[in-house]
Structure 1
Amino acid sequence: MAEIEREAMEYDVVIVGAGPAGLSAAIRLKQLDADLNVVVLEKGSEVGAHILSGAVLDPVGLDKLIPDWKDKGAPLNVPVSQDNFYMLGEAGKLRVPNFAMPPLMNNHGNYIVSMGNVCRWMAEQAEELGVEIFPGMACSELVYGDNGEVKGVIAGEFGKNPDGTPGPSYEPGMELHGKYVFLGEGVRGSLSKQVIEKFALSAGHDVQKFGLGMKEIWEIDPAKHREGTVTHTMGWPLDGNAGGGSFIYHLENNQVYVGFVVHLNYKNPHLFPYMEFQRFKHHPMVADLLKGGKRVAYGARAISEGGYQSMPQLEFPGGALLGCAAGMVNVPRIKGNHNAMLSGIAAADAALAAIKAGRGGDLLGGYDTAVREGEIGKDLKKVRNVKPLWSKYGLLAGMGLGGMDMWANTLGFSLFGTLKHGKSDAEATEEASQHQQIDYPKPDGVLSFDRLTNVSFSFTNHEESQPAHLQLKDPSVPVDINLPKYAGPSARYCPAGVYEFVSEEGKDTRFVINFQNCVHCKTCDIKDPAQNINWTVPQGGDGPNYPNM
């Protein structure tokens, strides 16, 4: 096929992803120099459409970026008023007293927010400063310069046929070039994955670890609503099958965020994370809260959990990784948005210094060090052993040891040094023959729901005639290897029902990819035992349309 000719636009900095990291970088750049040309490209139909987070926001990043955010109307309206932590059994609960929790776990001064709405507000602040923001522009390829550096991205390619050839309404998109390109795509971004591999950015760093976070928004009985209350749980229903836990956050307007996280290093391929979430809502404590209410939204997203020791090198020739693209989540706090903002600020500071010095296309210099030795590094270093301890010793012992280490870190030392994570989440999956199947109750349609019904509450849409953005490296692997060896785990680990094995009498079993259901969580790219699924971007604007996740 002949090489496609595209128009090119030149910028000082090109930013991929209008999340908290990318928008913070854009705002900071224009604060530092109003004459810089800065563009933000967002694959969602609007800013915030693909943002899903808990979220209890530590405002430290916002304080640094826009100190007068309250006066400017930032949507941080619900300060945390109460912190609860419970260990759950099937029918009961045990509250962990707040005084036993390390100080860093205290949510005093934090806010329950919709990060989608926070990002929408941040986009308004960025545009007032002169940042160009283009939603509905998926960045499908990187553009490299003469010396192999990242020079830009290709964005806005539309109208391909299912086989990848240009269709009758094909639009080739544009090349957007920058002196530096910032990748703020979030967890397991498709371009970030490419640069990490191409430039060996993970060399010398620990393997990255992940969790799957699922979330519903409920409108509940006003008599049960406690605005500002934050509740976290561990234990049932996961018990020994997997690590993870829940969050229940009471925001305004009688709404509650109900979320569930499953660590993706689970061994049993029969585990069904989505159904664990649905089962959780039948615990008496949760069922009583939700009774008489209604679910109004659903979504899912992978979470980076490797932390301090898993962050790759953050600079590459021509650009940098921001926020969750590099894995900056503080796992025990279930918080990464503050670090995403701080990383955007640090990258902008480094880029301005480089551009003022007449540079471009090289390593930024100073950004990686600023992250590791600054506020982000200090935040992540304190909790670096919590995840490895959970994984090695299980819930109770791991939580106890992790808590002790966090307490020790408040005094400036660690009991364990820096522990390693071991296997990747894909490698952690064991053969089905080594494990029992798990019997999950059928959803009742009141508290618990089947996947496809819930996906309709993510308002997901993909134009059906485009190529599937979920690509198999070897089409034979799902049926020939994953089905007999691992009982076809993709039919369960996907929280949107994208993958299914179809058996019809007299015909061979088929592996079907319903890419239209995809909520862009990236779990398949992470957990597939053979690492055979490659998540790429669909055309811009497609995917979930989260209203206020």
Structure 2
Amino acid sequence: MSENMRESMEYDVVIVGAGPAGLSAAIRLKQLDENLDVVVLEKGSEVGAHILSGAVLDPTGINKLIPDWKEKGAPINVAVKEDNFLMLSEKGSKKLPNFAMPPLMNNHGNYIVSMANVCRWMAEQAEALGVEVFPGMACSELVYGENGELKGVVAGEFGKNPDGSEGPGYEPGMELHGKYVFLSEGVRGSLSKQVIAKYDLAKDADVPKFGLGMKEIWEIKPENHNEGEVTHTLGWPLGNEAGGGSFLYHIDNNQVYVGYIIDLNYKNPHLFPYMEFQRWKHHPDIAKVLEGGKRVAYGARAVTKGGFQSMPKACFPGGALLGCSVGLVNLPRIKGNHNAMLSGMAAAEAAHDALKAGRSGDELTAYDTELREGAVGKDLKPVRNVAPMNGKFGPKIGMMLGGFDMWFQTIFKFSLFGTVKHGKNDAESTGKAADYAPIDYPKPDGKLSFDRLTNVSFSATNHAEEQPCHLQLGDPNIPIDVNLPEFAEPAQRYCPAGVYEVLRDDDGSNPRFQINAQNCVHCKTCDIKDPSQNITWVTPQGGEGPNYPNM
């Protein structure tokens, strides 16, 4: 009945997600043909509300898209002026010489930015060209055409009861149809996941791999601030137990972006990624920057790290996957925004050529080819072995082999190792709890380190309680019957927002699994790391989730 109630609107191109990929596609389409009808649908309350990135921006993408971005007032102002790589021990550090780093690691010419604010500015540029940008419009369903092609999406559905039935204020949403539909949802997008499965887009790809990125914004003392400084660290506290590392970026206005990324292929289910991040801030080199300052924002997001060999086919009947929906992060550079922009432009150009030729609803094969053989592929292919080497040999040996491989390819343009496979996906990598010792984490001090729920309040996340839970269990018995005895139910720890709890009676009996969906910051870690692969993240009502100001 609800489907019959829905109205529909027709566009040339429908774009899901107002991140750098989706907005670049929208802008490029209108640059190519101002008469094209283009719409961008964003689930966040405003453009940028769900954007979280480091971020040091390689400007190659924005240079190609909007060459006069400086004159147009883009919020890209802080050039990198100092580049540091530190190997941490518990009490000290060793600086790695810059000359030893592969040339692609050099941040000269890059900018420290808030990608949330860059996307807000890009949305303004898109709207000035005539693109319709609708925030607060979560896309909950896909619409297929008569020939099995993706035809559109359902957006703006509100008012369901917690059991999924239609409440008294139910609004069925609207179907937005496009001759082509672009999915630029970011990492582990719910619609992208469905499309990849339906069209078997990953059949020729290696398994996808991910990391969990956590970030805080701090206001620090002026004497501790060095605008334009970029510092990355490896080593403590993770050591050789798991892959990952940190970033410390000095933006303007006496602020620093403080973040930690942990590879989600870690084996020890007792590992607590959020607490590793909090413990890291107590290292002397980090604490001296933050002491006397205050944390003003917090957020978390999964990061793609599979690289070139994990890219699924990026085109399918009726549409394309863009940006992190394909997995375009250059892991050693910790950069993907430039590739997201380039992918959006490439998809736009392929769609424009198809529409100009009178085609619609087919596969944009020219886009997939450009993605692999053009600038994006050339950026990703030389670093394709870094992640699998870290996974196979551990961070220390993996870093040495990966560094050698990058240097060798810089000089000789091929790899002695070929293309190394990742092996297991991140969920399958989780070991049994009995095989690993629990980890004792120090209690947060409330000055440098904070408990999860306090930090989540700095993400401004919000969800209406009277709606279906957007964190769906395939089998509600698995968390207690399987994950708790075998893996000590790692959802209690891998979630950076405290969404999942195992509650017990006062005597410790009667364990039960609780989902605090209101806390969710949409990082998607649970959809990736759950060892039973029992959790599926779907979109809540539009406008809900975090409201990041300057991430």
Paired residues in the alignment total 549
Distance in 2 of aligned mates of 1:482 and 1:396: 30
1:459-538 → structure 2 map (5 Å cutoff): 459-505=460-506, 508-538=510-540
Distance in 1 of aligned mates of 2:158 and 2:395: 47
Corresponding residue for residue 105 of structure 1? 105
Distance in 2 of aligned mates of 1:109 and 1:451: 36
Distance in 1 of aligned mates of 2:287 and 2:65: 40
Corresponding residue for residue 207 of structure 2? 207
Corresponding residue for residue 150 of structure 1? 150
1:505 Cα offset (Å): 4.2
Letter in 1 for 2:123: A
1:435 Cα offset (Å): 0.3
Corresponding residue for residue 424 of structure 2? 423
Q: Is the 8 A contact 1:13 1:38 kept in 2?
A: yes
Distance in 2 of aligned mates of 1:145 and 1:3: 15
Q: Is the 8 A contact 1:4 1:172 kept in 2?
A: no
TM-score (norm 1): 0.99
Whether 1:168 and 2:174 are equivalent positions in the alignment is no
Corresponding residue for residue 240 of structure 1? 240
SS of the counterpart of 1:117? helix
Whether 1:335 and 2:335 are equivalent positions in the alignment is yes
Corresponding residue for residue 359 of structure 2? 359
Where structure 2 has 5 or more consecutive residues not aligned to the other structure, the ranges are none
Distance in 2 of aligned mates of 1:159 and 1:444: 41
Corresponding residue for residue 439 of structure 2? 438
Letter in 2 for 1:386: V
SS of the counterpart of 1:345? helix
Distance in 2 of aligned mates of 1:290 and 1:513: 33
1:382 Cα offset (Å): 0.8
Distance in 2 of aligned mates of 1:20 and 1:415: 34
Residues 3 and 57 from structure 1, CA distance in 2 versus in 1: closer, same or farther, beyond 3 angstroms?
A: closer
Q: Is the 8 A contact 2:2 2:172 kept in 1?
A: no
Q: Is the 8 A contact 1:241 1:271 kept in 2?
A: no
Distance in 1 of aligned mates of 2:126 and 2:89: 47
Distance in 2 of aligned mates of 1:193 and 1:336: 19
SS of the counterpart of 1:366? helix
1:395 Cα offset (Å): 1.8
Q: Is the 8 A contact 1:431 1:485 kept in 2?
A: yes
Where structure 1 has 5 or more consecutive residues not aligned to the other structure, the ranges are none
Distance in 2 of aligned mates of 1:397 and 1:305: 18
1:4 Cα offset (Å): 4.4
Q: Is the 8 A contact 2:240 2:396 kept in 1?
A: no
RMSD (Å) for aligned C-alpha atoms: 0.8
1:470 Cα offset (Å): 0.3
Corresponding residue for residue 231 of structure 2? 231
Letter in 2 for 1:15: I
Runs of 4+ in 1 over 6 A off after TM superposition: none
Q: Is the 8 A contact 1:304 1:327 kept in 2?
A: yes
Distance in 2 of aligned mates of 1:401 and 1:241: 17
Whether 1:79 and 2:67 are equivalent positions in the alignment is no
1:508 Cα offset (Å): 2.3
Q: Is the 8 A contact 1:89 1:235 kept in 2?
A: yes
Corresponding residue for residue 317 of structure 1? 317
Distance in 2 of aligned mates of 1:136 and 1:2: 20
Whether 1:140 and 2:137 are equivalent positions in the alignment is no
Q: Is the 8 A contact 2:3 2:172 kept in 1?
A: no
Corresponding residue for residue 304 of structure 1? 304
Letter in 2 for 1:49: A
1:3 Cα offset (Å): 4.6
C-alpha deviations, 1:207-251, integer Å up to 9, x for none?
A: 000000000000000001000000000000001221000000000
Corresponding residue for residue 295 of structure 1? 295
Q: Is the 8 A contact 2:87 2:93 kept in 1?
A: yes
Residues 86 and 164 from structure 1, CA distance in 2 versus in 1: closer, same or farther, beyond 3 angstroms?
A: same
Distance in 1 of aligned mates of 2:223 and 2:4: 61
SS of the counterpart of 1:397? helix
1:409 Cα offset (Å): 1.3
Corresponding residue for residue 281 of structure 1? 281
Distance in 2 of aligned mates of 1:502 and 1:28: 51
C-alpha deviations, 1:486-537, integer Å up to 9, x for none?
A: 0010000000000000001476211000000000000000000010000000
Distance in 1 of aligned mates of 2:517 and 2:4: 26
SS of the counterpart of 2:427? helix
Letter in 2 for 1:118: V
TM-score (norm 2): 0.99
Corresponding residue for residue 198 of structure 2? 198
Whether 1:31 and 2:69 are equivalent positions in the alignment is no
Distance in 2 of aligned mates of 1:399 and 1:297: 31
C-alpha deviations, 1:351-370, integer Å up to 9, x for none?
A: 00111111111101200000
1:415 Cα offset (Å): 2.1
Distance in 1 of aligned mates of 2:98 and 2:171: 57
SS of the counterpart of 2:276? helix
Q: Is the 8 A contact 2:12 2:37 kept in 1?
A: yes
Distance in 2 of aligned mates of 1:282 and 1:71: 41
Whether 1:450 and 2:469 are equivalent positions in the alignment is no
SS of the counterpart of 1:36? coil
Q: Is the 8 A contact 1:501 1:510 kept in 2?
A: yes
Corresponding residue for residue 15 of structure 1? 15
C-alpha deviations, 1:301-358, integer Å up to 9, x for none?
A: 0000000000000001100000000100000000000000000000000000111111
Distance in 1 of aligned mates of 2:287 and 2:209: 31
Distance in 1 of aligned mates of 2:365 and 2:245: 38
SS of the counterpart of 1:289? helix
Letter in 1 for 2:523: C
SS of the counterpart of 1:400? helix
Q: Is the 8 A contact 1:136 1:541 kept in 2?
A: yes
1:2 Cα offset (Å): 6.4
Distance in 1 of aligned mates of 2:345 and 2:205: 24
Whether 1:222 and 2:222 are equivalent positions in the alignment is yes
Distance in 2 of aligned mates of 1:204 and 1:223: 53
SS of the counterpart of 1:52? coil
Distance in 2 of aligned mates of 1:116 and 1:289: 24
Distance in 2 of aligned mates of 1:484 and 1:390: 29
